[in-house]
Amino acid sequence: MRYFAQVRALLWKDLVSELRTKEMVSSMLIFSFLVTVVFSFAFEPDSDTIKQVFPGIIWAAFIFTGILGLNRSFINEKGNDCIMGLMSAAVDKGVIFLGKMTGNFIFMTVMEAITLPVLFVLFDYRMKGSPILLIIVVVLGTLGFAAIGTFLSALSVNTSNSEVLLPIILFPLITPLLIAAVKATAVILAGGEFAEWSNWLTILLAYDIIFTVIPWFLVDYVLEV
Partner 1 sequence: MLKAENITKKIGNTTILHGIDLNIAGGEFITVFGPNGAGKSTLLKILSMLMKPSSGNLTINGVNALKDTARVRGSVGVISHRTFLYDNLTAEENLEFYGRMYGIDNLRDRVTEVLSEVGLELAFNDPVRIFSRGMQQRLAIARAILHRPEILFLDEPYTGLDQQAVEILNSVLARLSIKDRTVFMITHNFEQGLDLSDRILIINKGRLAFTEKAKGFTPDKLKKVYMEVLGGAVS
Q: Can residue 17 be called a binding residue for partner 1 (CB under 8 A)?
A: yes
Secondary structure of 50-103 as H, E, C letters: HHHHHHHHHHHHHHHHHHHHHHHHHHHHHHHHHHHHHHHCCCCHHHHHHHHHHH
Cα dihedral sign, 4-67-24-132: negative
Among 81, 179, 202, 214, binds partner 1 (CB under 8 A): 81
Q: Can residue 126 be called a binding residue for partner 1 (CB under 8 A)?
A: no
Q: Which of 181/223 has CB closer to partner 1? A: 223
Q: How far is the CB of 24 from partner 1 (least distance, A)?
A: 12
Among 46, 126, 195, 225, binds partner 1 (CB under 8 A): 225
Measure the CA–CA gap between 173 and 176, rounded to whole angstroms.
7
Q: CB under 8 Å to 162, separation ≥6 — which residues?
A: 71, 75, 153, 156
Among 92, 109, 114, 205, binds partner 1 (CB under 8 A): 92
Q: CB under 8 Å to 136, separation ≥6 — which residues?
A: 201
Q: Can residue 224 be called a binding residue for partner 1 (CB under 8 A)?
A: yes
User: Per-residue string for binding with partner 1, 164-203, x by CB under 8 A?
Assistant: ----------------------------------------
Q: Can residue 218 be called a binding residue for partner 1 (CB under 8 A)?
A: no
Among 46, 88, 160, 195, binds partner 1 (CB under 8 A): 88
Measure the CA–CA gap between 72 and 53, rounded to whole angstroms.
30
Could you say which DSSP state residue 223 is in? S
Among 90, 160, 194, 195, binds partner 1 (CB under 8 A): 90
Q: Is 191 left (phi over 0), alpha (psi -120 to 50) or beta?
A: left
Q: Can residue 12 be called a binding residue for partner 1 (CB under 8 A)?
A: yes
Q: Can residue 160 be called a binding residue for partner 1 (CB under 8 A)?
A: no
- Which residues contribute to the site for partner 1 (CB under 8 A)? 2, 5-6, 8-10, 12-13, 16-17, 20-21, 76, 79-82, 84-92, 224-225
